[in-house]
Structure 1
Amino acid sequence: MKYRILGKTGYSVSEISLGTWQVGGGWGQDFDDAVADRIINAAIDQGVNFLDTADVYDDGRSEAAVARVVRQRNRGGQEQVRFATKCGRRVQPHTDENYTVEALRSHVEASLRNTGLETLDLIQLHCPPSAVYSRPEIFGLFEDLQREGKIQHLGVSVEKVEEAVTALQYPNVASVQIIFNMFRQKPAETFFQMARERKVGIIVRVPLASGLLAGKYTIQTSFHPQDHRSFNRDGAAFDKGETFSGVPYETALTAVEELKKVLPGRADLAATALRWILMWDQVSCIIPGASKPEQVQRNVRAVQEEPLTGQEMEAVQGVYDRYIRPAVHHLW
């Protein structure tokens, strides 16, 4: 494993870390604590030391499972696995006016109870409405929580580049979690450099475009009815950019086949897609998900992939410009 610094936190985090939306369940499957334990421990065994979860994943069960393993692995001080969670999606209706200091404080304190941790290494606002990023009192709350020792650092998880840029104005924002992959390239245009100048870490989520960039799906592929890849393609439940990176499914399949053609020397498209993200040194870490230990091992292999050549980078850019840019670039 290789490591990078996560912005103002100063944490040294694994380039390939772990997102836990579907750890042990989710996406149409029932949660299984034993499966979650195997996946999380497999990740740590591979050198992963940064785990990202959220209070709403499987109604808190993912958060509790991740924290349980972190407590076990950090016991004795020989390992230092960082625990990151998110808050805000429990706000219902999910509107700006319902984002209050009192509500968010209660969510952070609920996460502390759920996890059994004395402090949270990183708490992130979980894709709030855009207007929330312009409310200083919300960000002031997390300064209070830091002083109280309940959190160590604050980050934001955003949908849009514009939201990320707005969040940079707050000195206590230590990291930004954002969608960035071969099919969502806009963040690299200006935001990455702005984050670097402010020493803000970048956590990349949805790196494989909900599995599309593994190169295994076809038009016949079916998904569980409760899997967001079935019901959220048009944003019926949450921002459609979280599902297949917002790219129309048939268009994405065509683009994937074109990527295979222009990258003939790359046998593993998923590993190549992750290595492509690591070509940007502003990126602190990537948090691909996994529903079984074997997927963790596949993801970690990306660290050992040879860097993409200039010609390969241009080829990926060409596929994006031709097939993807018209559908997504202006939206996020």
Structure 2
Amino acid sequence: MNYRKLGKTGFNVSEISLGTWQVGGKWGEPFSHTNADQILNQAVDAGINFIDTADVYGDGESEKAVGRLLRSRQERIYVATKCGRRLRPHTNETYQPDVLRKFVEDSLRNMELETLDLIQLHCPPTDVYYRPEIFELFDRLKEEGKIQHLGVSVEKVEEALKAIEFPNVTTVQIIFNMFRQRPAELFFTEAKRRDIGVIVRVPLASGLLTGTYSPTTEFSPTDHRNFNREGAAFDKGETFSGVEYETGLAAVEELRSIYPDVQNLAPDALRWILTFDAVSCIIPGASKPSHLASNLKALKQPAPSHQQMAAVKQIYDERIKNPVHYLW
């Protein structure tokens, strides 16, 4: 495993880390603690030392599984969780310091911890980034010993740039992959200048970039890749990175010419992300151990050549950029 510094947190975290949205089962399926325990322990066995979770994953069950892992292992494992998505409705007005404080305390109870390594606002509405009182709350929580660091998970580059103006924001979690390249422009430059840790989520565009999907692939009715393609439940950028499914499939076919004779494109797609030195770590998810094994293969992939990087950029510019780039 290779490690990088997570910005001004000072944490040295595994380049390939683990996101736990679906660690207890595929999207929409009941949470399985047996499955979660297996994946989490195999991740740590492989050298992963950074795990991202949230209070809404499995309605708190993901946090409980992560807490159980921490109690059963001797390794130093950094845990990031998130708060805010439990709000109903999820609006600027419902974001209030006292409610967010309760969410943080609930996460501490779920994981049986006294202090959270990193708490992240969970993709709040854009207006929240213009409210200093929300960010000031986390200074108080740090003084009380309940958190070590504050980060944000964002939908838009605009939100990331606004968030890092607050001095107590240490990390930004953002969607970045071959089909979502805008963060590599101004945001990465500013993140490096301000020593912000960059956590990359949705690195495989909800599985599109594995190259294993086809026009006949069926997704469960409870899977967001089925019901959220137009943003019916949450920001559609979380589903296939906002790329229209058929457009994504066509782009993947072009990627195959760049990576010939590769059945599973995931390791190369993850390795492409790691070529950007602003990135601290990637948090691909896994609903089974084989997904984790596939993700870890990225560490053994050669860096893409200049020709491959240029070819990926050309596919993005020609097929993806116009409908996606300017929305997020």
Q: Is TM > 0.5 for Structure 1 vs Structure 2?
A: yes
Residue 269 (structure 2) pairs with residue 273 (structure 1): yes
TM-score (ref. length: structure 2):
0.99
Residue 223 (structure 2) pairs with residue 227 (structure 1): yes
Whole-Å separation in 1 of the counterparts to 2:135 and 2:243:
32
SS of alignment partner, residue 302 of structure 1: helix
Shift, 1:57, TM fit: 0.5
Instruction: State the match for 1:27 in structure 2.
Output: 27
SS of alignment partner, residue 97 of structure 1: coil
Shift, 1:26, TM fit: 4.7
Any runs of at least 4 consecutive aligned residues in structure 1 with deviations exceeding 4 A, and if so which? none
Aligned length: 328
Contact 1:266 1:272 (8 Å CA) reproduced: no
Contact 1:67 1:83 (8 Å CA) reproduced: no
SS of alignment partner, residue 254 of structure 1: helix
Contact 2:177 2:203 (8 Å CA) reproduced: yes
Q: Provide, for residues 300-319 of structure 1, a one-character-per-residue CA deviation record: whole Å limited to 9, x for no partner.
A: 11011100000000000011
Aligned runs of 1:235-254 on 2, under 5 Å? Answer: 235-254=231-250
Whole-Å separation in 1 of the counterparts to 2:129 and 2:71:
32
Instruction: State the match for 1:217 in structure 2.
Output: 213
Contact 1:153 1:172 (8 Å CA) reproduced: yes
Long gaps (5+) in structure 1: none
TM-score (ref. length: structure 1):
0.97
Whole-Å separation in 1 of the counterparts to 2:26 and 2:287:
9
Instruction: State the match for 2:102 in structure 1.
Output: 106
Identity in percent: 64
Shift, 1:268, TM fit: 3.9
Aligned runs of 1:177-216 on 2, under 5 Å? Answer: 177-216=173-212
Contact 1:24 1:33 (8 Å CA) reproduced: yes
Q: 1:118 aligns with which of 105, 114, 120?
A: 114
Contact 1:15 1:286 (8 Å CA) reproduced: yes
Q: 2:251 aligns with which of 232, 255, 262?
A: 255
Residue 170 (structure 2) pairs with residue 174 (structure 1): yes
Contact 2:3 2:14 (8 Å CA) reproduced: yes
Whole-Å separation in 2 of the counterparts to 1:264 and 1:311:
14
Whole-Å separation in 1 of the counterparts to 2:252 and 2:241:
13
Shift, 1:266, TM fit: 5.0
Contact 2:211 2:263 (8 Å CA) reproduced: no
| Root mean square deviation, CA, Å | 0.9
Residue 130 (structure 2) pairs with residue 138 (structure 1): no
1:99 partner amino acid: Y
Long gaps (5+) in structure 2: none
Whole-Å separation in 1 of the counterparts to 2:296 and 2:132:
38
1:118 partner amino acid: E
Whole-Å separation in 2 of the counterparts to 1:313 and 1:266:
17
SS of alignment partner, residue 64 of structure 2: helix
Instruction: State the match for 1:299 in structure 2.
Output: 295
Residue 285 (structure 2) pairs with residue 289 (structure 1): yes
SS of alignment partner, residue 141 of structure 1: helix
Q: 1:319 aligns with which of 307, 312, 315?
A: 315
Contact 2:108 2:115 (8 Å CA) reproduced: yes
